[in-house]
Amino acid sequence: MGKGSKYVSHKPGPDGHIEWSAEENAIWRILIERQLKAIEGKACDEYLAGLERLDLPRRRIPQLEAVSARLRAATGWSLKAVPALISFDSFFQALANRQFPVATFIRRRDELDYLQEPDIFHEIFGHCPLLTNPAFAHFTHTYGRLGYAAGKEERVFLARLYWMTVEFGLLNTPQGLRIYGGGILSSPGETEYAVNSPLPERKPFDILEVMRTPYRIDIMQPIYFVIDDIAELYEIAEMDLMAVVQQARALGLRPPRFDTDDKRAG
Protein backbone atom coordinates (compact mmCIF):
# COMPACT_ATOMS: atom_id res chain seq x y z
CA MET A 1 0.00 0.00 0.00
CA GLY A 2 2.97 2.31 0.45
CA LYS A 3 3.62 5.09 2.96
CA GLY A 4 2.79 8.22 1.00
CA SER A 5 0.97 9.53 -2.03
CA LYS A 6 1.34 12.65 -4.14
CA TYR A 7 -2.40 12.49 -4.85
CA VAL A 8 -5.15 13.70 -2.56
CA SER A 9 -8.50 11.95 -2.76
CA HIS A 10 -11.76 13.87 -2.93
CA LYS A 11 -13.92 13.60 0.14
CA PRO A 12 -17.52 12.67 -0.74
CA GLY A 13 -20.26 14.95 0.55
CA PRO A 14 -22.92 13.85 3.07
CA ASP A 15 -24.91 12.30 0.21
CA GLY A 16 -21.83 10.48 -1.15
CA HIS A 17 -21.58 12.82 -4.14
CA ILE A 18 -18.15 13.91 -5.33
CA GLU A 19 -17.60 17.13 -7.26
CA TRP A 20 -15.13 16.39 -10.05
CA SER A 21 -13.48 19.19 -12.01
CA ALA A 22 -13.84 19.62 -15.76
CA GLU A 23 -10.20 18.54 -16.14
CA GLU A 24 -10.74 15.38 -14.12
CA ASN A 25 -13.79 14.47 -16.18
CA ALA A 26 -11.83 15.13 -19.36
CA ILE A 27 -9.09 12.75 -18.20
CA TRP A 28 -11.70 10.06 -17.50
CA ARG A 29 -13.04 10.50 -21.03
CA ILE A 30 -9.57 10.13 -22.55
CA LEU A 31 -8.83 7.04 -20.46
CA ILE A 32 -12.09 5.22 -21.06
CA GLU A 33 -12.30 5.93 -24.78
CA ARG A 34 -8.79 4.74 -25.54
CA GLN A 35 -9.06 1.71 -23.27
CA LEU A 36 -12.35 0.60 -24.81
CA LYS A 37 -10.50 0.47 -28.13
CA ALA A 38 -7.50 -1.29 -26.59
CA ILE A 39 -9.53 -4.17 -25.10
CA GLU A 40 -11.40 -5.03 -28.32
CA GLY A 41 -10.80 -8.72 -29.01
CA LYS A 42 -8.72 -9.02 -25.83
CA ALA A 43 -11.08 -8.73 -22.83
CA CYS A 44 -12.99 -11.84 -21.73
CA ASP A 45 -16.74 -12.10 -22.35
CA GLU A 46 -17.55 -12.02 -18.64
CA TYR A 47 -15.80 -8.68 -18.28
CA LEU A 48 -17.56 -7.24 -21.33
CA ALA A 49 -20.93 -8.40 -19.99
CA GLY A 50 -20.17 -6.66 -16.71
CA LEU A 51 -19.07 -3.51 -18.50
CA GLU A 52 -22.38 -3.44 -20.34
CA ARG A 53 -24.27 -3.99 -17.11
CA LEU A 54 -22.49 -1.13 -15.33
CA ASP A 55 -23.07 1.22 -18.29
CA LEU A 56 -20.25 3.55 -17.23
CA PRO A 57 -20.47 7.14 -18.48
CA ARG A 58 -17.97 8.21 -21.12
CA ARG A 59 -17.83 11.98 -20.49
CA ARG A 60 -17.59 12.10 -16.72
CA ILE A 61 -16.36 10.12 -13.76
CA PRO A 62 -19.20 7.99 -12.41
CA GLN A 63 -20.55 8.57 -8.93
CA LEU A 64 -19.76 5.65 -6.63
CA GLU A 65 -23.37 5.13 -5.56
CA ALA A 66 -24.51 4.72 -9.18
CA VAL A 67 -21.95 1.94 -9.70
CA SER A 68 -22.75 0.43 -6.29
CA ALA A 69 -26.45 0.20 -7.14
CA ARG A 70 -25.69 -1.98 -10.16
CA LEU A 71 -23.18 -4.11 -8.26
CA ARG A 72 -25.61 -4.69 -5.39
CA ALA A 73 -28.25 -5.85 -7.84
CA ALA A 74 -25.80 -8.29 -9.43
CA THR A 75 -23.76 -9.78 -6.58
CA GLY A 76 -24.37 -7.79 -3.40
CA TRP A 77 -21.16 -5.76 -3.68
CA SER A 78 -20.76 -2.01 -3.34
CA LEU A 79 -17.97 0.55 -3.56
CA LYS A 80 -16.26 2.23 -0.63
CA ALA A 81 -14.58 5.62 -1.02
CA VAL A 82 -11.08 5.55 0.49
CA PRO A 83 -8.02 7.83 0.61
CA ALA A 84 -5.29 7.45 -1.98
CA LEU A 85 -3.53 4.87 0.19
CA ILE A 86 -5.04 2.60 2.84
CA SER A 87 -3.69 -0.04 5.21
CA PHE A 88 -3.80 -3.74 4.41
CA ASP A 89 -6.19 -4.21 7.33
CA SER A 90 -8.59 -1.69 5.80
CA PHE A 91 -8.25 -3.26 2.36
CA PHE A 92 -8.97 -6.79 3.52
CA GLN A 93 -11.76 -5.70 5.82
CA ALA A 94 -13.52 -3.89 2.98
CA LEU A 95 -13.35 -6.95 0.72
CA ALA A 96 -14.54 -9.16 3.57
CA ASN A 97 -17.61 -6.90 3.79
CA ARG A 98 -18.17 -7.06 0.01
CA GLN A 99 -17.06 -3.46 -0.34
CA PHE A 100 -14.55 -2.70 -3.07
CA PRO A 101 -12.25 0.17 -2.01
CA VAL A 102 -11.97 2.97 -4.56
CA ALA A 103 -9.51 5.82 -4.11
CA THR A 104 -11.36 8.97 -5.11
CA PHE A 105 -8.71 10.62 -7.26
CA ILE A 106 -7.81 10.33 -10.92
CA ARG A 107 -4.34 10.45 -12.45
CA ARG A 108 -2.92 13.55 -14.11
CA ARG A 109 -2.35 13.90 -17.87
CA ASP A 110 1.39 13.35 -17.45
CA GLU A 111 0.67 9.91 -15.96
CA LEU A 112 -2.02 8.69 -18.33
CA ASP A 113 -0.07 5.60 -19.37
CA TYR A 114 1.12 4.36 -16.00
CA LEU A 115 0.38 5.03 -12.35
CA GLN A 116 1.72 2.92 -9.49
CA GLU A 117 -1.19 3.83 -7.21
CA PRO A 118 -4.64 2.50 -8.11
CA ASP A 119 -6.84 5.46 -9.06
CA ILE A 120 -10.57 5.58 -9.68
CA PHE A 121 -10.17 4.64 -13.34
CA HIS A 122 -8.18 1.53 -12.53
CA GLU A 123 -10.59 0.45 -9.81
CA ILE A 124 -13.87 1.13 -11.59
CA PHE A 125 -12.99 0.34 -15.20
CA GLY A 126 -10.47 -2.39 -14.42
CA HIS A 127 -12.18 -4.29 -11.61
CA CYS A 128 -15.83 -3.42 -11.17
CA PRO A 129 -17.23 -5.04 -14.34
CA LEU A 130 -16.15 -8.50 -13.16
CA LEU A 131 -17.57 -7.90 -9.70
CA THR A 132 -20.93 -8.47 -11.42
CA ASN A 133 -19.79 -12.07 -12.04
CA PRO A 134 -20.70 -14.46 -9.18
CA ALA A 135 -17.52 -16.55 -9.36
CA PHE A 136 -15.22 -13.52 -9.42
CA ALA A 137 -17.22 -11.81 -6.67
CA HIS A 138 -17.09 -14.93 -4.47
CA PHE A 139 -13.35 -15.29 -4.99
CA THR A 140 -12.72 -11.65 -4.06
CA HIS A 141 -14.93 -11.89 -0.97
CA THR A 142 -13.20 -15.07 0.22
CA TYR A 143 -9.81 -13.50 -0.39
CA GLY A 144 -10.79 -10.55 1.78
CA ARG A 145 -11.99 -12.74 4.65
CA LEU A 146 -8.83 -14.84 4.62
CA GLY A 147 -6.55 -11.84 4.29
CA TYR A 148 -8.17 -10.01 7.17
CA ALA A 149 -7.60 -12.99 9.47
CA ALA A 150 -4.09 -13.78 8.20
CA GLY A 151 -0.76 -12.83 9.71
CA LYS A 152 1.69 -10.43 8.09
CA GLU A 153 3.85 -13.10 6.43
CA GLU A 154 0.82 -15.09 5.28
CA ARG A 155 -0.56 -11.96 3.62
CA VAL A 156 2.54 -11.72 1.43
CA PHE A 157 1.70 -15.10 -0.12
CA LEU A 158 -1.97 -14.22 -0.46
CA ALA A 159 -0.94 -11.00 -2.21
CA ARG A 160 0.71 -13.07 -4.96
CA LEU A 161 -2.56 -14.92 -5.49
CA TYR A 162 -4.44 -11.63 -5.87
CA TRP A 163 -1.78 -10.23 -8.19
CA MET A 164 -1.80 -13.23 -10.53
CA THR A 165 -5.61 -13.41 -10.71
CA VAL A 166 -7.59 -10.27 -9.91
CA GLU A 167 -4.88 -7.95 -11.19
CA PHE A 168 -3.06 -9.87 -13.94
CA GLY A 169 -5.07 -12.99 -14.73
CA LEU A 170 -5.52 -14.41 -18.23
CA LEU A 171 -8.20 -16.76 -19.55
CA ASN A 172 -8.14 -19.44 -22.25
CA THR A 173 -11.19 -19.33 -24.53
CA PRO A 174 -12.19 -20.99 -27.82
CA GLN A 175 -11.48 -17.62 -29.44
CA GLY A 176 -7.99 -17.42 -27.97
CA LEU A 177 -6.33 -15.80 -24.98
CA ARG A 178 -8.46 -13.22 -23.16
CA ILE A 179 -7.90 -10.92 -20.17
CA TYR A 180 -9.77 -10.81 -16.88
CA GLY A 181 -7.19 -9.09 -14.64
CA GLY A 182 -7.98 -5.46 -13.89
CA GLY A 183 -4.34 -4.40 -13.84
CA ILE A 184 -4.15 -5.37 -17.50
CA LEU A 185 -7.60 -4.18 -18.53
CA SER A 186 -6.93 -0.64 -17.31
CA SER A 187 -3.56 -0.35 -19.09
CA PRO A 188 -3.29 0.02 -22.90
CA GLY A 189 0.35 -1.07 -22.93
CA GLU A 190 -0.15 -4.19 -20.83
CA THR A 191 -3.37 -5.08 -22.67
CA GLU A 192 -1.40 -5.48 -25.89
CA TYR A 193 1.64 -6.99 -24.19
CA ALA A 194 -0.24 -9.61 -22.17
CA VAL A 195 -2.09 -11.05 -25.16
CA ASN A 196 0.28 -10.61 -28.10
CA SER A 197 3.87 -10.14 -26.94
CA PRO A 198 6.24 -13.12 -27.31
CA LEU A 199 8.23 -11.98 -24.27
CA PRO A 200 6.21 -13.11 -21.22
CA GLU A 201 5.70 -16.70 -20.16
CA ARG A 202 2.06 -17.78 -19.93
CA LYS A 203 1.67 -20.74 -17.59
CA PRO A 204 -1.35 -22.92 -16.74
CA PHE A 205 -2.74 -21.87 -13.38
CA ASP A 206 -1.18 -23.76 -10.47
CA ILE A 207 -2.04 -22.22 -7.12
CA LEU A 208 1.13 -23.39 -5.39
CA GLU A 209 3.27 -21.96 -8.19
CA VAL A 210 1.28 -18.73 -8.08
CA MET A 211 2.02 -18.24 -4.39
CA ARG A 212 5.70 -19.01 -4.93
CA THR A 213 6.17 -16.62 -7.87
CA PRO A 214 7.60 -13.17 -7.05
CA TYR A 215 6.34 -10.12 -8.91
CA ARG A 216 7.11 -6.43 -9.30
CA ILE A 217 4.46 -3.76 -9.52
CA ASP A 218 6.27 -1.37 -11.87
CA ILE A 219 7.20 -3.55 -14.86
CA MET A 220 5.43 -5.47 -17.59
CA GLN A 221 4.81 -8.87 -16.07
CA PRO A 222 7.31 -11.59 -17.04
CA ILE A 223 4.84 -14.37 -16.11
CA TYR A 224 1.06 -14.68 -16.43
CA PHE A 225 -1.03 -17.55 -15.10
CA VAL A 226 -3.92 -18.73 -17.25
CA ILE A 227 -7.22 -20.30 -16.17
CA ASP A 228 -9.64 -22.06 -18.53
CA ASP A 229 -12.92 -20.72 -17.15
CA ILE A 230 -13.94 -17.87 -14.85
CA ALA A 231 -15.82 -20.50 -12.82
CA GLU A 232 -12.40 -21.83 -11.72
CA LEU A 233 -12.15 -18.79 -9.43
CA TYR A 234 -15.08 -20.13 -7.43
CA GLU A 235 -13.35 -23.50 -7.13
CA ILE A 236 -10.10 -21.84 -6.03
CA ALA A 237 -11.98 -19.89 -3.36
CA GLU A 238 -13.37 -23.13 -1.98
CA MET A 239 -9.90 -24.64 -1.52
CA ASP A 240 -8.04 -24.62 1.78
CA LEU A 241 -6.04 -21.60 0.71
CA MET A 242 -4.26 -21.12 4.00
CA ALA A 243 -2.94 -24.67 3.80
CA VAL A 244 -1.51 -23.78 0.39
CA VAL A 245 0.07 -20.69 1.94
CA GLN A 246 1.85 -22.92 4.45
CA GLN A 247 3.05 -25.23 1.66
CA ALA A 248 4.38 -22.26 -0.30
CA ARG A 249 6.17 -20.91 2.77
CA ALA A 250 7.81 -24.28 3.37
CA LEU A 251 8.95 -24.65 -0.25
CA GLY A 252 10.13 -21.07 -0.67
CA LEU A 253 9.98 -18.71 -3.63
CA ARG A 254 10.92 -19.35 -7.22
CA PRO A 255 13.83 -17.29 -8.56
CA PRO A 256 12.53 -13.89 -9.69
CA ARG A 257 12.51 -12.95 -13.38
CA PHE A 258 13.47 -9.35 -12.66
CA ASP A 259 15.90 -7.10 -10.80
CA THR A 260 15.38 -7.75 -7.10
CA ASP A 261 17.10 -4.58 -5.84
CA ASP A 262 13.78 -2.84 -5.54
CA LYS A 263 11.25 -2.54 -2.74
CA ARG A 264 8.41 -2.71 -5.25
CA ALA A 265 8.73 -6.49 -5.50
CA GLY A 266 6.22 -8.84 -3.90
Quote the CA–CA distance of 252 and 264 in Å, as a whole number: 19
Q: HSE-up of 139 (CA within 13 Å, CB side)? A: 23
User: Known catalytic residue: 186?
Assistant: yes
Length, in residues, of the chain: 266
pLDDT, tens digit, 9 for 90 and up, residues 122-147: 999 999 999 999 999 999 999 999 99
> Is 167 one of the annotated active-site residues of the chain?
yes
pLDDT category at 209 given cuts 50, 70, 90 is: very high
Residue stretches of the annotated binding site: 122, 127, 167
Options 68, 122, 187, 190, the catalytic residue: 122
Is 68 marked active-site? no
What are 162-186's pLDDT values in tens digits?
999 999 999 999 999 999 999 999 9
Interstrand relation of 176-179 and 170-173 (parallel, antiparallel or unpaired): antiparallel
- The pLDDT of residue 1 is 39
Element (H, E) at 253: none
Active site residue 127: yes
Helix (H, G, I), strand (E, B) or coil at 99: strand
> What pLDDT does 29 receive?
98
Give me the sheet containing 170-173, strands edge to edge: 176-179, 170-173, 223-227, 201-204
pLDDT in tens, 56-110: 999 999 999 999 999 999 999 999 999 888 999 999 999 999 999 999 999 999 9
What pLDDT does residue 2 have? 41
